[in-house]
Amino acid sequence: RVEIAADRVLLDGELSARAVVGADGAGSVVRRALGHPVNPDRHLALAIRGYAPAPAGPPEQLIVTSAARWPAYAWAFPIGDGRANVGYGEVLRGEPLTRAHLLDRMAALLPDVDPATVTGLRAHHLPLSTHRAAPGQGRVLLAGDALSLINPFTGEGIFYALRSGALAGAAAAGSPAEAARAYAATLRARLGTHLRHSSVAAWL
């Protein structure tokens, strides 16, 4: 539970802070407390990823797009410890996606990866930047996946999470009472043009 007072933010009736940055992922509790629903279909993707033995030879990043159920793609890239990060994701379209479907598509697009060797499989929702919530309200700010900062083409969100988190932290530390306004302005200056271009390209 998030309660926003004139000079404080109270979390679960126990923790108090001058400002709060909600960087709590796609299922953000802070986002829901601000009244923002989850992204609707076509603005939300689902991906599954795990780890497989890295193939022999020079390190190579592999991205395989799929005409079926586009935009959808599988990936495989070495992470430097003898394993490769492998996975598959696609945009939700109003019908449930099963774990079996995601794994079948991954196997079809990555035939050199033996599904029996893949470990640590987990599925994640990816809220796409084509449907963003307001970046903040008063002393409460949203960053990363909680703000729907996932690239609609690549599914990448780490850069956006780090950049938005740093900007939100700076705004909260600078003047908590003006945090939302300052954060919105700096976020727009740093990422606004890029996000507009991404949204238009995704629409096209």
Digit-coded pLDDT (tens) for 150-160: 998 778 899 99
Check residue 4 and give its pLDDT: 77
pTM of the model: 0.85
Q: What are residue 76's phi and psi, to 5 degrees?
A: -155, 125
Collapsing DSSP states into helix, strand and coil, what is residue 90? strand
Architecture of domain 2-38+129-203 in this structure:
3-Layer(bba) Sandwich (3.50)
Beta strands in 79-131 (DSSP E): 83-91, 119-127
Residue whose tokens read 């705004």: 171
C-alpha distance across the termini of the chain, in Å: 39
Report d(CA 162, CA 183) in Å as an integer.
14
Characterize the bridge pairing of strands 2-4 and 9-11.
antiparallel
State yes or no: pLDDT of 183 exceeds 80: yes
Is the pLDDT higher at 188 or at 96? Answer: 188
Check residue 8 and give its pLDDT: 84
Q: How confident is the model at residue 79 (pLDDT cuts 50, 70, 90)?
A: very high
State yes or no: pLDDT of 193 exceeds 90: yes
Q: Is 60 exposed, middle or buried (0-12, 13-18, 19+ CB in 10 A)?
A: exposed
Check residue 204 and give its pLDDT: 82
Q: What are residue 77's phi and psi, to 5 degrees?
A: -150, 140
Q: How confident is the model at residue 119 (pLDDT cuts 50, 70, 90)?
A: very high
State yes or no: pLDDT of 162 exceeds 90: yes
Residue ranges matching CATH 3.30.70.2450 in the chain: 44-127
* Mean pLDDT value across residues 54-77: 89
Is the pLDDT higher at 193 or at 202? Answer: 193
Digit-coded pLDDT (tens) for 85-100: 999 999 999 888 999 9
* 168-192 burial: b if 16+ Cβ within 10 Å, else e: bbebbeeebeebbebbbebbeeebe
Q: Quick one: what percent of the chain has pLDDT higher than 70? A: 100
User: What is the CATH number that goes with domain 44-127?
Assistant: 3.30.70.2450
State yes or no: pLDDT of 71 exceeds 90: no
Residue ranges matching CATH 3.50.50.60 in the chain: 2-38+129-203
Q: How confident is the model at residue 199 (pLDDT cuts 50, 70, 90)?
A: confident
Check residue 161 and give its pLDDT: 96
Q: How confident is the model at residue 109 (pLDDT cuts 50, 70, 90)?
A: very high
